[in-house]
A and B are shown apart, each in its own frame.
Chain A
Amino acid sequence: MTNRLLLFFFILGLAGSIFLQNAHDRNHDYFGEKDIFLALPPGKTLRIASFGFDNLVADSLYIWAIQLYSSYHLQNRYDYIEHIFNTITDISPHYIDPYSIGAMIMGEEAGDFQMAIRLLEKGIANNPQNWILLHDAGFFAQKGLKNYIKAADYYGRAAQIPTAPPLMKRLQAHWTYMQDNLDEAWKMWMEIYTSSTEYQAKRSAFNHLFQIKSDRDTTLLNQKITEYKALKRHLPSSLDDLVREGLLKTIPNDFSGSPYEYDRPTGTVHPKLNFRWKKNF
């Protein structure tokens, strides 16, 4: 057989295989709904069956899971999400990404924040010195569960870890404030305000302390104005009238040291600044 004939058969074979592959692809719906998998053995079994290549198996499953949860046309992709991420994290319990990304998919995409927190709790138990998982759990507790006590607790535990950034303390203080636990929040923010040298931290602490103080002061002042009106049958001409009448010893100033604004026609007191964090929640 000559070389030309061999080349002819090679090209013929190649063309034939291309034709057959195209025919197969035309009749195959690669993007249609399909079963996610037949069976995924438990992580502990896979760990043994990986014969020492457990890291590689965990990576492969994790990368596959990312591709699966990026396949938005698959409506049933969340059916076994907890099992998949539990398997990955059973094989490699100290691999942090599957906890973080798995919880994000569970919470943000599948809308199951309880499940997301369950996965993160597992990660926290396996990696007690990792602040990122505690931060993520705090985020889902606050955003998904609206459980600010739990959120502040997670951020507080994250703040205890030596490698955690100072932001964790601020988040703990913020979500303590959001629970209306103002005494505790005041203590936390005051500690940050006095100990921090970072501009952003100091400014954040200032804003919170300003807000807590102005909330308390304006509530007190408005209450005293009401008492004044009940006594005198008219509104005070200025806040000093409250002192003159003996309702208050002194008129408090806001956290920056400036006086509060008194609106005489309505008889209400307002701070100059108002940080409405709670308005959005």
Chain B
Amino acid sequence: MNWKAIVLNTLKEAIRNKIFYLLFFFGLFFVFSSRIIGLLTIGDQTKVIKDVGLASINFFCVLIAIFTGINLVHKEIDKKTIYTILSKPISRDQFILGKFLGLLLTVGIALASMATIFILFLVLTTGKFEASLLLYFLMLFMELAILISISLLFSSFSTPILSSIFTITIYLIGQITWTYNHFKYLLKTPLTRVLTDVVYYLLPNLHKYNVKNEIVLGTPVAIGQLLVAVGYSVLYIGCILFATLMIFRKREFQ
């Protein structure tokens, strides 16, 4: 047994999960309903279709990433299948990395399916294919990868309910950490500033992945932003996975 088996097994397990299908089809339902919402506007209906469609895919993929991720490790411990797995020639590190990649694959498949359906839907509605949407989905995938690593981190030492609360909270904070730069001048003492800076850099900054505006309004996305986003994802996910491995190595199973 090697880490590839863990990846495939995680994928199978996630795909068999009913919540995965529920969120997937609910997401698609909202994607299609964007056409009806678009009819309510005056002016550019395509913009509303894209806004609603992209927001739905974003929202439901985030839910898939969180609710599938939080159960991964806890379920193995709860059902005691972890003993069987770790008794095979597989290390704890391989187990965690396999889980991460398996979930990344699952979310990637869900995102790719939703994106394909949405792009086809948009082509049928507007008659044109917009390649810039692919860039949006790439950015969203990187954001989801960060979220998966965070949900896996919490899943490695906490219960599913707490993990979901922590991950959702960090996701929401990650969306608004950019505002810190607007009010940090309010912090008077150097100590509070340093401490807040530490928290700022520890938490993920997910705002840079939000290119909906640029994609929908047809304005260019700076190549610098794209490169920073790729680099940040790789480094941040690496850090979170290292932290997860450190916690999981010390974890005792009873």
Give me the interface of A with B, judged by CB distance under 8 Å.
48, 51-56, 59, 62-63, 66-67, 92, 94-97, 100-101
Contacts and interface: CB of A to CB of B under 8 A. Distances in A.
A101 B43 contact: yes
30 contacts: A48-B176, A48-B179, A51-B172, A51-B175, A52-B206, A52-B207, A53-B58, A53-B59, A54-B213, A55-B54, A55-B55, A55-B212, A55-B213, A55-B216, A56-B51, A59-B37, A59-B48, A59-B52, A62-B41, A63-B37, A66-B40, A66-B41, A67-B40, A92-B213, A95-B217, A96-B44, A97-B42, A97-B43, A97-B47, A101-B43
Given A48-B176, A56-B55, A59-B48, A97 B212 contact: no
A232 to B, nearest CB: 67
Contact of A52 (B47, B52, B175, B217): B175
Nearest to B217: A94
Contacts of B44: 96-97
Interface of B: 37, 40-44, 47-48, 51-52, 54-55, 58-59, 172, 175-176, 179, 206-207, 210, 212-213, 216-217, 219
Nearest to A70: B42
A97 B59 contact: no
Contacts, number: 56
B37 A55 contact: no
Contact of A63 (B48, B55, B210): B48
Contacts of B41: 59, 62-63, 66, 97
B213 A94 contact: yes
Nearest to A60: B37
Contacts of B42: 66, 97, 101
Contacts of A53: 55, 58-59
